[in-house]
A and B are shown apart, each in its own frame.
Chain A
Amino acid sequence: MRTKTLLLSLVLSVAAGLISHGCGEGNKGSSSTGAALDLTGARQGQTVGFVDVNGDGITDKVVGAPYAATRSGQTGAVLVYKGLTTGFSTIPTTALTGDDNLGYAVVNIGNDLAVAAIHGDGDDVSLSGSVAIYRGGGSGAIVKKLSGEWPLDKFGVALAAGDLNGDGTDDLIVGAPFNTNDPALYQGGAVYVFFGPDYAAPVKLYASAANKGLGWAVAAGDVNGDGSDDLVLSATGKVLVFYGSSLAFAPSINAPDIELTSAAAGFGKAVSVIGNIDGIAGGEIAIGAPNALVSLNTVTSRDVGSVYIANGSGSSPVNLDTATPGPSGPLITRLNGETLFSRFGSSITALGDIDGRGKPDLAVGAPMRDVDWNILSGTVYVFKGEDIAAGTPWANSSAFEGQVKDHSYGTSLVSAVLSGPTGTMNALLIGAPRSNAGTGGAAMVDPATGQTVAGGSSGGSTGGSGDCH
């Protein structure tokens, strides 16, 4: 039976957002560049992350605000909330600013943080999109800046990291869904792999006639159990997996090691490698299809959404629509959303084994789900790996619900294990960028217990938590 958890601290952050117009003008946070921010319509929570920005050994909270406005005319910021021994700062302690729409996506690369600015610039190109890699502990120091190849490629819409070449250093994967490498495949998209630690000479995967629509979703993880991370990426109607290799990672877009297909609408808009559920070496692949048609009470309803969990077995291509779910795969299970237009599967994140039953668990966002009378408030579901393996994925699942209209709770997700004076705790950071006319915010819970984290929630025109700051 699924449990339903109410978040009291979340209510506080929402209240702060609703009354933010009475709290003075502009943003009270500071920026590493000294530029003040206007967070109205900033979409805080478009992406979320954890990293130790200031090098004090305590993880900080990171919230992307890609439509924040700076006084100097730039757009986009990343709000950093300093980690404390008990939670997080209630107001942004640092704001990273830079290229336009900075903060659209973030991902950890080891101890560093990669941040996408989807209209950023490169040395020889403008508006291509860029990704800045901030050194963990470097207090905002940029150690590398990468860019797309052509203007309006929207390089950085999707980010992931993993050690694909087995050298012990994570590599950065970047999606550029509007790249055009071949005029016949206009805006067919591209995926780039930049190898750490220097991120030079990337592998480039361009759209082909067989595989286009690249760059919208990417992930990395060890799917085949050989110890190297593998590259997972979405294409139109497909998810492709390319095995990593310590010899040479040189994938060809038309020769994936695994090809998973589905006709479900939006198949592949979110992908994640979630760990070993089936007991066979290697992690499973979770694939979101948030626009999928699902029959609810015998009525076929659109945008309900689904999540496919596959183990990569079988002869490619594997059609997951016709596969029979079972513990041996190739399809372990298909999870469907609960309500019309909930867009279940818009976001997915691995949680690790939070219930201690031996299998990895996962969180799934349904950011357009209505909660009571609050339309589009959104819901985040937590599923337990042990129950997925047993074929009863909803058995001990739990749901964390948005609290206000248009909250879009669960648009983005990221998890971490945080250390504190009383030990460690699991933390799930949840982005909700649409609340308050797109001003947005974020919330944090322990996905195992539902407990909130001090300073975990933030948003509104101040970017803070609680009442006016």
Chain B
Amino acid sequence: MFNTIVIGLFLLCCSLGFTSGSMAQVLYDASNFSAAGRLLQPAPAGHVPGKDNGPGTGTHNAGDDCGVCHTPGGKAGNFVFTVGGTVYEDRTARRTLKNAEIILQDVQGNTISMTSNEAGNFWTFAELASNPCAVSSHGTTMDYLYTLSNGVCVPTVPSSDSRTWQYKAWVKYGDQVRHMATVAPIGGASATTARMGCSMHHAGMGSRGGLWGMKKDTLTVYPASNLSFKKHILPIFRNKCAPCHIPGSTTTRIATRSDIDPAATGTLTTVDYSNGQDFTSYSGSTVGAAVKKGIGDFTAGYQSDPDSSPLLAHTLLQSSGTVTHGGGGFWTTADGDYKAIRQWIAEGALP
């Protein structure tokens, strides 16, 4: 094992958009458990929702980082979670959400399902498979947790090392499924005993906003005309797009051999999850080497045909389940958010 300085800021997670449940399933295996493989994929199906719910009532401390206490050596060290967190209606975290399903799938294709309780909380003790080709990266450090022998990964840490427990995640509510990308391993960069508390970043006061599951409009009411960018449009983008489309480096977290070793898959799969777009502003941003387009860059030329703007066409939920946006779909043409953006573009998309 050795350490390498990694340039750039790695996202822990990105909470992305919705898909319908009709897409064909793709189970994980070593070939797609990579940065690109963690882009949009359909959720596992055919299991019993909540089959892996942890025992107990667990209605306390919604929105707090479960991993602080429910970790080996922690205050609740006798009740160590693998994963725990809180689900909200939307990313603003104005309200928690009951009966959402949180689905994980590990590198061997094992499915874990949890459901949120009346406080929005979920947790599990279920084990996740260890990825033999795992890389632990966080901030500016990177540890290879394997060596190569004849092109095969030979782990240098035991399979009990939680840094090698990697997964893909989805949040399902009703017939809507939202998937996560660039998901961090269960363990942190150096602490082999740490456990994943989603609320560390995905909560009302977390840097990425609430882990959310409900397809609902951002604002309760939109005017029929004269929409304001700051009052009506930017809140939508800050609510639904900001986990990925933010200023600065949004390069995926390196998690496995195929992310850094083209020989493993033939393709270097490091991914910028923002795709060069900063949707926290109209005109985009430049932070160091990260030059990003803004919301306004995707409206020019679409005033007479706003439905064709990539802001809408790329993120539309299709009846076929086909979505071109790597982060999934957000809306139908009947949704208030969609209609507000559409009207704003038709009115000239002024900042």
Contact = CB atoms under 8 A, between A and B. Distances in A.
A127 B248 contact: no
Given A119-B94, A127-B235, A73 B209 contact: no
A340 interface: yes
A180 B119 contact: no
Contacts of B242: 152
A139 interface: no
A434 B92 CA distance: 20
Residue of A180, A184, A438 contacting most chain B CB atoms (<10 Å): A438
Given A67-B95, A69-B95, A119-B92, A180 B59 contact: no
B278 A183 contact: yes
A151 B239 contact: yes
Interface string B122-165: 00000000000000000000000000000000000000000000
Interface string B231-268: 11011001100100011100000000000000000000
B239 A41 contact: no
Contact of A152 (B59, B60, B209): B209
A155 interface: no
A20 B68 CA distance: 31
A278 interface: no
Contact of A184 (B96, B118, B235, B287): B287
B247 A186 contact: yes
B114 interface: no
Contact of B219 (A124, A126, A184, A341): A126
B92 to A, nearest CB: 6
Contacts of A152: 92, 209, 235, 238-239, 242
A127 B92 contact: yes
A151 B235 contact: yes
A386 interface: no
Contact of B285 (A100, A177, A183, A408): A183
Contacts of B68: 302-303, 341
A41 B209 contact: no
Contacts of A405: 60
Nearest to A376: B60
B95 A437 contact: no
A125 B230 contact: yes
Contacts of A438: 59-60, 62, 119
Nearest to B285: A183
A406 interface: yes
A100 B94 CA distance: 7
A183 B281 contact: yes
Q: Which one of B69, B94, B209, B286 has the highest number of Cβ atoms from chain A below 10 Å of its Cβ?
A: B94
A276 interface: no
Contacts of A69: 95
Contacts of B209: 152
Contacts of B92: 100, 119, 127, 152
Nearest to A43: B62
Contacts of B239: 127, 151-152
Given A126-B231, A183-B285, A75 B94 contact: yes
B136 to A, nearest CB: 21
B16 to A, nearest CB: 17
Contacts of B119: 41, 437-438
Contacts of A75: 94-95
B118 A437 contact: yes
A31 interface: no
B218 interface: yes
B75 A340 contact: yes
B228 interface: yes
Interface string A68-79: 010001010000
Contacts of B235: 125-127, 151-152
A208 to B, nearest CB: 15
Contacts of A157: 205
Nearest to A301: B75
B207 interface: yes
B230 A180 contact: no
B299 interface: no
A75 B74 CA distance: 34
Interface string B61-81: 110000011000011000000
B116 interface: no
A243 interface: no
Nearest to A405: B60
Nearest to B292: A183
A429 B235 CA distance: 36
B319 interface: no
B220 interface: yes
Interface string A306-335: 000000000000000000000000000000
17 contacts: A41-B62, A41-B118, A69-B95, A119-B92, A125-B231, A126-B232, A127-B92, A127-B235, A151-B238, A152-B92, A183-B278, A183-B285, A183-B287, A186-B248, A405-B60, A406-B61, A438-B59
Interface of A: 41, 67, 69, 73, 75, 100-101, 119, 121, 124-127, 150-152, 154, 157, 177, 180, 183-184, 186-187, 302-303, 340-341, 376, 405-406, 408, 434, 437-438
Task: Give the 9 A-B CB pairs with smallest separation, nearest first.
Answer: A183-B247, A437-B59, A183-B285, A341-B75, A151-B235, A406-B60, A151-B238, A126-B235, A127-B235
Given A152-B92, A152-B239, 17 more contacts: A41-B118, A67-B95, A124-B228, A126-B231, A127-B238, A151-B230, A151-B238, A152-B209, A152-B242, A183-B247, A183-B281, A184-B287, A302-B68, A376-B61, A437-B60, A438-B59, A438-B119
